[in-house]
Amino acid sequence: MTDPAAVARLSAALVASAGGYLHNAVRQELLTCAVCATPVTGFRLCYQCQRRRGRPGLADATGFLAYAVAGRQSGSVMQGYKARPPVPGHRAIVTLLVLLGLARHAGCAAYAGCAEPGGSAGPAGVPVTHWATVPSLPARPGEHPLHAIVSRLAPGAEVALAAADEVEYSRDLHPGHFRVAVPPPAGAHVLLVDDTWARGGHAQSAALALRAAGAARISVLVAARWINEDFGGNAAFLRGLSGRDYDPAICPWTGAACPPGRPGPPGLTSGDRATVV
């Protein structure tokens, strides 16, 4: 059962508790990278995404909920939510951020444009059929906190991803960093959820593994795009975001309104409300 009123209440709770330091990712040509939403200066792609451009098997679409800034509250929250032990307040913020992202925008992945420059949106209205989360790399014991959050509201069936026990360069792009236990059926559209994108190696390596296992379409949804404000023009970019409270209604795929043609976002079930608030 959907409950739009619950979504509205939880959205207000997130804005009240973290809206002042969380800022929506910006999707604007020649201002932010068309793939990863990091600030750029007059380019379509950042260095990392340009270097990977054209490699077969990468994600078809990428969506980002917010920015996490190194050394700022937003960065501390993304680190603290998965610390051992976790910081309870940080875990609550990330839980709200991700669950609202799924509740309001998981359906937008069916209409999102291709992440590769020159690409186009997939067939309109083809829904997400499966989901996966990006595990820690190398593998760590126990359930990843992101998986615990996403499993409560993710659409479709899970495609379980497991991380390699040992990797030489964890941030490199390599499909062998992850393995798929049970391949998805032909034509599957997998929503791959990651908590933080720094260079994108983890998420894109997971996408390559899913593609090799048979996924037809892969849409990546990331909670936070990591930014170092000491790099390039990032400090000026971030100053331009000051005064803009985080808005859960802004689509992570477009940076504005949800794609045209998609139905209204679903709500949260009563069980979800009980475990979030």
- The pLDDT tens digits for 111-152 are 886 544 434 445 556 799 999 999 999 889 999 999 999 999
Average pLDDT along the chain? 90
The model's pLDDT over 195-243, given as tens digits with 9 standing for 90+, comes to 999 999 999 999 999 999 999 999 999 999 999 999 999 999 999 999 8
Alpha-carbon gap, residue 72 to 11, rounded angstroms? 22
pLDDT at 276: 38
3-class DSSP state of 126:
coil
pLDDT band at 172; cut points 50, 70, 90: confident
pLDDT at 113: 66
Taking residues 257-269, what's their average pLDDT? 64
Both tokens assigned to 132: 């996966």
Q: Who contacts 89 (Cβ-Cβ below 8 Å, separation ≥6)?
A: 80
CA distances from 50 to 43, 53, 231, 232 (A): 10, 5, 18, 17
CB atoms under 10 Å from CB of 56, counted, come to 6
Q: Determine how β-strand 178-180 pairs with β-strand 161-163.
A: antiparallel
Question: CA dist 229 to 69, 152, 168, 232, 247, Å?
Answer: 7, 34, 28, 8, 22
Higher pLDDT, 118 or 82: 82
First to last CA, the chain: 18
pLDDT at 268: 44
Model confidence at 38: pLDDT above 70: yes
Q: How far apart are CA 70 and CA 206, in angstroms?
A: 24
Q: pTM for the full model?
A: 0.92
Range scoring the smallest mean pLDDT among 86-90, 187-191, 202-206, 273-277: 273-277
| Confidence check: pLDDT of 165 > 60 | yes
